[in-house]
Chains A and B, each alone.
Chain A
Amino acid sequence: MKNFRIIEHTADIAVEVRAPDLEKLFLYSAEAWLNAVVYTEPATSGEMKEIKLESSSLEVLLVEFLGELNYLLNTKRWIYLNTEKISIKQNGKFKLTAVIKGTKLNGINVKLKNEIKAITFHQMNIERTESGFKTKIIFDI
Chain B
Amino acid sequence: MKIQGIEINQLTDTLWEIPKQGGMLVPGRIYTSKNLLENTLQNDEAIKQVVNVAHLPGIQKYSLAMPDIHWGYGFPIGGVAATDLDEGVISPGGVGYDINCGVRLARTSLEFDTIRKRIPKLVENLFKNIPTGVGASGAIRKLSAKEIKKILEKGSQWAVEQGFGTDEDIIFTEEQGRLKNANPDAVSDRAIERGMDQAGTLGSGNHFLEVDVVEEIYDEEKAGIFGLFKGQIVILIHTGSRGLGYQVCDDYLKILVEAGNKYGFRLPDKQLACAPINSEEGRNYLGAMQAAANFAWNNRQVIMHLAKKTLKQTLGVSGSELDFHLIYDVCHNIAKIEEHNINGEKKKVCVHRKGATRAFPPGSEFIPQKYSSTGQPVLIPGDMGRYSYVLAGTEKAMEETFGSSCHGAGRVKSRHKALKIGKGRDLVAELKKEGIEIQARGYRTIAEEMSYAYKDVSDVVEVMHKAGISVKVAKVRPVGVIKG
Asked if A67 is at the interface (CB within 8 A of a chain B CB), the reply is yes
B243 touches A75 (CB 8 A): yes
Write the nearest CB–CB distance from A66 to chain B, whole angstroms.
11
Write the nearest CB–CB distance from B199 to chain A, whole angstroms.
15
> What interface size band does chain B fall in?
35 or more
Residues in B with CB closer than 8 Å to A119 are: 250
Given contacts A56-B258, A121-B270, contact A115 B411 (CB under 8 A): no
A56 touches B261 (CB 8 A): yes
Asked if B128 is at the interface (CB within 8 A of a chain A CB), the reply is no
Residues in A with CB closer than 8 Å to B190 are: 71, 75
B205 touches A118 (CB 8 A): no
- Provide the bound-state CA to CA distance between A55 and B20, in Å: 35
Residues in B with CB closer than 8 Å to A67 are: 250
- Provide the bound-state CA to CA distance between A112 and B190, in Å: 21
Write the nearest CB–CB distance from A2 to chain B, whole angstroms.
15
Residues in A with CB closer than 8 Å to B71 are: 10-11
Asked if A74 is at the interface (CB within 8 A of a chain B CB), the reply is yes
> What interface size band does chain A fall in?
20 to 34
Q: In this complex, which of A113, A117, A118 has the most chain B Cβ atoms within 10 angstroms of its Cβ? A: A117
B412 touches A10 (CB 8 A): yes
Asked if B325 is at the interface (CB within 8 A of a chain A CB), the reply is no
- Provide the bound-state CA to CA distance between A59 and B193, in Å: 25
Write the nearest CB–CB distance from A56 to chain B, whole angstroms.
6
Asked if B58 is at the interface (CB within 8 A of a chain A CB), the reply is no
Q: In this complex, which of A122, A124, A138 has the most chain B Cβ atoms within 10 angstroms of its Cβ? A: A122
Asked if B390 is at the interface (CB within 8 A of a chain A CB), the reply is no
- Provide the bound-state CA to CA distance between A114 and B448, in Å: 12
Residues in A with CB closer than 8 Å to B73 are: 120-122, 138, 140
- Provide the bound-state CA to CA distance between A71 and B192, in Å: 12
> Among the listed B135, B261, B271, which residue makes an inter-chain contact with A74, where contact means beta carbons less than 8 Å apart?
B135
Residues in A with CB closer than 8 Å to B247 are: 71, 118
Asked if B183 is at the interface (CB within 8 A of a chain A CB), the reply is no
- Provide the bound-state CA to CA distance between A118 and B95, in Å: 14
A75 touches B194 (CB 8 A): yes
Asked if B426 is at the interface (CB within 8 A of a chain A CB), the reply is no
Q: In this complex, which of A9, A64, A67, A118 has the most chain B Cβ atoms within 10 angstroms of its Cβ? A: A118
CB-nearest residue of chain B to A118: B250
> Among the listed A10, A55, A115, A121, which residue makes an inter-chain contact with B70, where contact means beta carbons less than 8 Å apart?
A10
Interface residues of B in 133-157 (CB under 8 A from A): 134-135
Interface residues of A in 107-141 (CB under 8 A from B): 112-115, 117-122, 124, 138, 140-141
B246 touches A117 (CB 8 A): yes
B243 touches A10 (CB 8 A): no
Residues in B with CB closer than 8 Å to A6 are: 416
- Provide the bound-state CA to CA distance between A52 and B134, in Å: 28
Residues in A with CB closer than 8 Å to B249 are: 118
> Among the listed A10, A59, A115, which residue makes an inter-chain contact with B204, where contact means beta carbons less than 8 Å apart?
A115
A112 touches B74 (CB 8 A): no
Chain A interface helix/strand/loop/mixed:
loop
- Provide the bound-state CA to CA distance between A135 and B205, in Å: 26
B204 touches A114 (CB 8 A): yes
Residues in B with CB closer than 8 Å to A55 are: 254, 258
Residues in B with CB closer than 8 Å to A113 are: 134, 444
- Provide the bound-state CA to CA distance between A7 and B308, in Å: 42
- Provide the bound-state CA to CA distance between A59 and B260, in Å: 14
- Provide the bound-state CA to CA distance between A115 and B203, in Å: 9
> Among the listed B135, B246, B412, B415, which residue makes an inter-chain contact with A118, where contact means beta carbons less than 8 Å apart?
B246
Given contacts A60-B258, A114-B204, A121-B257, contact A8 B194 (CB under 8 A): no
Asked if B413 is at the interface (CB within 8 A of a chain A CB), the reply is yes
- Provide the bound-state CA to CA distance between A92 and B269, in Å: 24
Write the nearest CB–CB distance from B139 to chain A, whole angstroms.
16
CB-nearest residue of chain B to A114: B134
Residues in B with CB closer than 8 Å to A124 are: 270
Residue interface bits A1-20, CB-to-B below 8 A is 1, else 0 = 00000101111000000000
Asked if A48 is at the interface (CB within 8 A of a chain B CB), the reply is no
Residue interface bits B180-221, CB-to-A below 8 A is 1, else 0 = 000000000010011000000001110000000000000000
B194 touches A60 (CB 8 A): no
CB-nearest residue of chain A to B193: A75
Asked if A86 is at the interface (CB within 8 A of a chain B CB), the reply is no
> Among the listed A112, A121, A140, which residue makes an inter-chain contact with B273, where contact means beta carbons less than 8 Å apart?
A121
B135 touches A112 (CB 8 A): yes
Asked if B98 is at the interface (CB within 8 A of a chain A CB), the reply is yes
B253 touches A121 (CB 8 A): yes
Asked if A88 is at the interface (CB within 8 A of a chain B CB), the reply is no
A60 touches B257 (CB 8 A): yes
Given contacts A8-B416, A74-B135, A74-B194, contact A117 B98 (CB under 8 A): yes
A117 touches B97 (CB 8 A): yes
Residues in B with CB closer than 8 Å to A63 are: 250, 254
Write the nearest CB–CB distance from B53 to chain A, whole angstroms.
14
Q: Lowest 5 CB-CB distances: which A-B pairs, in order?
A: A117-B246, A121-B270, A115-B134, A117-B97, A118-B250
Query: Footprint of A on B, CB under 8 Å?
Result: 70-71, 73-74, 97-98, 134-135, 190, 193-194, 203-205, 243, 246-247, 249-250, 253-254, 257-258, 261, 269-271, 273, 411-417, 444
Query: Footprint of B on A, CB under 8 Å?
Result: 6, 8-11, 55-57, 59-60, 63-64, 67, 71, 74-75, 77, 112-115, 117-122, 124, 138, 140-141
> What would 16 A/B residue contacts be, using CB atoms closer than 8 Å?
A11-B414, A56-B261, A64-B254, A75-B193, A113-B134, A114-B204, A117-B97, A117-B246, A118-B253, A121-B73, A121-B253, A121-B270, A122-B73, A124-B270, A140-B246, A141-B205
